[in-house]
Amino acid sequence: MSFPLHRYRRLRRSESLRTMVRETSLAPSDFIAPLFVVPGKGVRQGVASMPGVDRTSADLTGKDAKALADLGVLSVILFGIPDHKDAKGTSSADPEGPVCRAVRAIKAESPKTVVMTDICLCEYTDHGHCGVIKGDTVDNDPTLAILAAEAVAHAKAGADVVAPSDMMDGRVGAIRAALDKEGFADVALLSYAAKYASGFYGPFREAAESTPSFGDRRAYQMDPGNVREAVKEVLSDVAEGADMVMVKPALSYMDVIRAAKEVTNVPLACYNVSGEYAMVKAAAANGWIDGQRVTLEILTSFKRAGADLILTYHAKEASQWIG
């Protein structure tokens, strides 16, 4: 019997003791801030369902990235809302599109920021799906070349990391090959390896104007009941050349984060998605929870589960809170 020999409360008695024995802690460099870029200049628009998150034109995105870097947030991931959408998402590879312009603006304003770009077609297609449509579904193989062209365009603009979120099979290999062929062997690839068909993306789709006009994404994103399948996705993306992998969403998928951590040694990210953010903000605004405390608890839990990096809309405020 361990009691009274072991009294665990001995090491919980003071903040200093608790800090000394804490197994998991947060730093601003753990966070990757998602930023939404719109066309134009001097534009800043709030997102109703995501208080504290704005959509900005490239010039202001550059300034926001600098402010984040000054707080120690070393990386951002860009999502673009283009002027033009068509069936094939052609504007995704436009060198004058919002993402490419923002990459250049950030590199000018904040050279040390690691600029990541989301690679997907749903913001650029008029039907809102993540690839080209054939009949009533998304056609995997013809989509790969379009995604690869988008990645090459972002690399040309100066992106450090491209992050495919479309969930087409084989896209990591296709993007890696295209980058290498075009002279971008040093551009890294963060794969949204285990991305689930989730109800938690609702506020993002408002911000990115990417809600599918028919059907849903269940025929290409993963089923929420599966974890062994996530392991397969992670292993095959690493085999195809992913430098880092991601689990998304994060909050209700911490077992998936842990499972991914156990099978690979590449850096592991998780995406604390828009719906997770909106829930915390809504409850805090009602006075039902302590928003700061709950946010830091959630972010700590992602790291405890095994995440090395956290994509989160809380990046700025959390960095201010942890100092």
φ/ψ of 72, rounded to 5, equals 100, 0
Determine if residue 286 is left, alpha or beta; phi over 0 gives left, psi from -120 to 50 gives alpha, anything else beta: alpha
The distance of closest approach from Cβ of residue 28 to ligand PBG in the complex, given in angstroms and rounded to an integer, is: 20
Nearer to ligand PBG, 109 or 278 (CB): 278
249 cis-preceded (ω within 30 degrees of 0): yes
- Provide the mask over 50-89, with x wherever binding to ligand PBG is found by CB under 6 A and - wherever it is not: ----------------------------------------
Catalytic, 195? Answer yes
How far apart, in whole angstroms, are the C-alpha atoms of residue 172 and residue 179?
Answer: 11
The distance of closest approach from Cβ of residue 313 to ligand PBG in the complex, given in angstroms and rounded to an integer, is: 7
- Report the alpha-carbon angle 136-141-147, nearest 5: 100
When binding is defined by CB under 6 A, the residue of 57, 92, 274, 319 that contacts ligand PBG is 274
Residue recorded with tokens 């790291």: 303
Catalytic, 112? Answer no
- Are 164 and 120 contacting, i.e. CB atoms less than 8 angstroms apart? yes
Nearer to ligand PBG, 184 or 196 (CB): 196
Binders in 186-225 for ligand PBG, by CB under 6 A: 201, 204-205, 217
Nearer to ligand PBG, 109 or 118 (CB): 118
When binding is defined by CB under 6 A, the residue of 155, 244, 268, 273 that contacts ligand PBG is 273
User: Residue 261, Cβ neighbours under 10 Å: how many?
Assistant: 17
- Are 213 and 59 contacting, i.e. CB atoms less than 8 angstroms apart? no
By CB under 6 A, residue 122 contacts ligand PBG: yes
Among all residues, which ones are annotated catalytic?
195, 248
Which residue ranges make up the site for ligand PBG (CB under 6 A)?
118, 120, 122, 165, 201, 204-205, 217, 273-274
